Structure 1
Amino acid sequence: MNIVLEIIINILLLALLPWLICVASVFIHEIGHAVGYMLATKDRNWRIIVGSGKRMFGSKRFVVNLIPFGGLFLTKEEGRLDSVKKKVAMWLGGPLATFLLLIPLVTLRVNLTKLGTPDILGTDAVKFLVSFPLLYNLIIFVLSLFPAPYSFGVCKGLDSDGLQICKLTKRSRDESRK
Structure 2
Amino acid sequence: MGPINIFIHELGHATGILLTMKEREANLFLGAPNSRSCLKFKIGRVNFHIRIASEGFCYIKKEESDESVEKVTPIKEIIIMASGPIFSFMAAFLALILSYYIEGNFKRLVVAFAILSFATFINTAIPHRYKSRNKYLNGIKSDGLVIKEILRKNKEKSV
- What is the TM-score with the length of structure 2 in the denominator? 0.79
2: CA distance, partners of 1:128 / 1:54: 35
Which letter maps to 1:59? F
Q: Which has the higher helix share?
A: 1
CA distance 1:59–1:157, shift in 2 (3 Å):
farther
Q: CA deviation at 1:56?
A: 4.7
CA distance 1:83–1:56, shift in 2 (3 Å):
closer
Q: How is 1:48-127 mapped onto 2 (pairs within 5 angstroms)?
A: 48-52=28-32, 55-59=37-41, 61-67=47-53, 69-77=54-62, 80-109=70-99, 111=100, 115=102, 117=103, 123=104, 125-127=105-107
Runs of 5+ in structure 1 lacking a partner? 1-20, 118-122
Describe the superposition over 1:118-140 as per-residue Cα deviations: whole angstroms up to 9, x where unpaired.
xxxxx3x3243122211211111
- What is the TM-score with the length of structure 1 in the denominator? 0.71
For the 8 Å contact 1:40–1:86, the answer to whether it is kept is yes
Aligned match of 2:66: none
CA distance 1:57–1:77, shift in 2 (3 Å):
closer
1:140 aligns with 2:120: yes
For the 8 Å contact 1:55–1:63, the answer to whether it is kept is no
Percent identity (aligned): 24
Equivalent of residue 7 in structure 2, options 20, 23, 27: 27
Count residues with an aligned counterpart. Answer: 146
Equivalent of residue 129 in structure 1, options 109, 126, 130: 109
CA RMSD of aligned residues (A): 2.3
Q: CA deviation at 1:142?
A: 0.6
